Structure 1
Amino acid sequence: MKKSERMNQMLRFINQKQQFTLQDLMQEFQISKRTALRDIASLEELGAPIYVEYGRYGGYRLLQQMQLPPISFNTGELHALYFAMQALRSFSSLPFQVSFRTIHEKFMSALSDKQRQDIENIQHRVYFQHTEQIRDSAHLEFLLMAAVQNIVIQITYANQRRSSDQRSSSANTNIRTIQPIALYARKGYWYCQAYDLHKQAYRVFRCDRIISAETTEIEPLTHVKELYSQDAQSLWKPSEQAIPFKCLIDEAGMELFQQEHFPSMQIIEQMGHMYLVGSYEPHELDFIVRYLAGYGNSIKITEPVILKKALRQYYLDLLDHV
């Protein structure tokens, strides 16, 4: 990192901390003690109001917050920002109702002619293939802020995808009281990870199926956040009714597994062979059959028998439609 760039970042760092030590600077910017001392002297020459506190717990203190210069980005950072923005192309629904076009126009207008030319050259050299968003989600900002602020909310949830004539009907919906944890996007859909207070279990909700959402006066559960800080895979444990399965899997199948799998699944090695193992709930039989069918001949189900029969029937039904 160039010294001028490091000085800029260091100004922002100490302006935020107000009180710091040489060790803080050495660790944050990966520099030596001698370099840190020289940088402090340079900051003082730039007018930073820094004074020394002596003693065992001494260090440096900023007398007052400074007016910082505008943020500037180097070429590599600009290119990284442009690549990151491409992820927004696929989503018509985004938290805070931000559109890719608006961000892209502002980004490009802020560049110099040379920087804009570099970005345009990148556009002709790199192709971004996206999974387009399939359905809009109207409550993303509300769900995100509920997760951030640790608020319990009540939602009206459609169990299945609604057709146009079902939108006004409550026959296929139910009321759920949940504590949102996080949002994520996958294969064209937004999902909300949450704790269902009625079922007392962690659940994932399709955001486009949330018809309405409103706050409640219910106190949030403190253990939800604590559990989420642990391994996410441990949150969604199988129920007592869950059915374990095991499939022999080849190398091509393991590559498919890396592209898409679920917390209840893993790859293990036994006696020199690789297996896809996991579990599914009884009502998820059709789902797990369709998922395993995507592996083609890269897997062979070894157990349970009911899953083998269901997958065989799935293939037979496909042949009937040929």
Structure 2
Amino acid sequence: MKKSERINQILRFINQKQQFTLQDLMQEFQISKRTALRDVASLEEIGAPIYAEYGRYGGYRLLNQMKLPPIYFNNQEILALYFAMQSLRSFSNLPFQVSYRTIHEKFIDVLSECQKQDIERMQNRVSFQHTEQIKESMHLEILLMAAVQNIVLKITYQNSVRTIHPIAIYVMKGYWYCQAYDMDKTAYRVFRCDRITSAEITTIQPLEELKVITKQNSHSLWKPSDNAIQFKWLINQAGIELFEQEHYPSMKLIYELENAYIIGTYEPNELGFIIKYLARLGQTVKIIEPTNLKETLRQYYRDLLENI
């Protein structure tokens, strides 16, 4: 990183922290102590209002917040942003009703001619493959803001009224999903967003334990019912890669001796879903239990053959 670019980033870093040490700069920007000292001196030269505090707990303090220079992106960052924007192209619905076309036009307009040429050359060398959004999801913004602000919603989902606390939204294989806690069923659920036909804010208070739930640990809310069926499938390395690309809260990967297995549970009404999931894994998986699942999978393949 060029010194001028690093100084610009340090200005933003200390403006946010207000108080910092040389160690903070060394860790944040991966620089030596000598470089950190030189950078502090450079900050003082350009008039940054900082002063040193001596002693065991000393460091540097910013007297008041500074008016920062405009954000500048280097060529590598611009290309990285362009790559990131490509993920928006396949979605007709995005939170906050933002379209890829509008963002793309504004982005391109502010680039220099040289940067535009770099983008054009990259377009001719890089192919972006997208999974197109399959159905419209009209309530993404309210679902996302409810998750961020810990708000309980009343939704209409497949003609039934549900009271939920959204935790996170995500997209997979062309569909938007909402991870949520169903207040009526007192259970963790995943809702397909295009099947939500209405959503409105309520005054219901969320459970305290839900306020600290994140997308990473939200699966801990999932609990099988008393009727859930346990399964265990032997899986090879190719299957492990498929599992890592697509799996669900009701299943996990374990290792026993030199073998890998997918274990978990499914509800009786999810049999069709489990069979289709197994079919996608193909020959990478072998059913250990329940044994009657083998015949159901065989019947699934027989039905497919009859339609050929």
Provide the TM-score with structure 2 as the length reference. 0.94
Q: Does 1:178 align with 2:167?
A: no
**Alpha-carbon distance, 1:227 to partner:** 4.3
Residues 70-89 of structure 1 correspond to what in structure 2 (within 5 A)?
70-89=70-89
Residues 229-308 of structure 1 correspond to what in structure 2 (within 5 A)?
231-270=217-256, 272-308=258-294
C-alpha distance in 1, partners of 2:73/2:227? 54
Q: Percent identity?
A: 69
Give the secondary structure class of the aligned counterpart of 2:89: helix
The aligned counterpart of 1:14 is 14
C-alpha distance in 2, partners of 1:130/1:229? 24
4+ runs deviating over 4 angstroms:
none
**Alpha-carbon distance, 1:150 to partner:** 0.8
The aligned counterpart of 2:42 is 42
**Alpha-carbon distance, 1:296 to partner:** 2.6
Residues 60-139 of structure 1 correspond to what in structure 2 (within 5 A)?
60-139=60-139
| 1:302 partner letter | I
**Alpha-carbon distance, 1:281 to partner:** 0.9
For the 8 Å contact 1:228–1:235, the answer to whether it is kept is no
C-alpha distance in 2, partners of 1:230/1:111? 36
For the 8 Å contact 2:51–2:62, the answer to whether it is kept is yes
**Alpha-carbon distance, 1:232 to partner:** 4.1
For the 8 Å contact 2:167–2:213, the answer to whether it is kept is no
Q: Supply the RMSD in Å over aligned alpha carbons.
A: 1.8
Residues 19-38 of structure 1 correspond to what in structure 2 (within 5 A)?
19-38=19-38
Give the secondary structure class of the aligned counterpart of 2:171: strand
C-alpha distance in 1, partners of 2:220/2:67? 46
The aligned counterpart of 1:166 is none
Change (3 A) 1:55 1:300: closer
**Alpha-carbon distance, 1:29 to partner:** 1.4
Count how many residue pairs are aligned between Structure 1 and Structure 2: 308
**Alpha-carbon distance, 1:230 to partner:** 6.3
Change (3 A) 1:98 1:229: closer
C-alpha distance in 1, partners of 2:256/2:60? 58
| 2:277 partner letter | Y
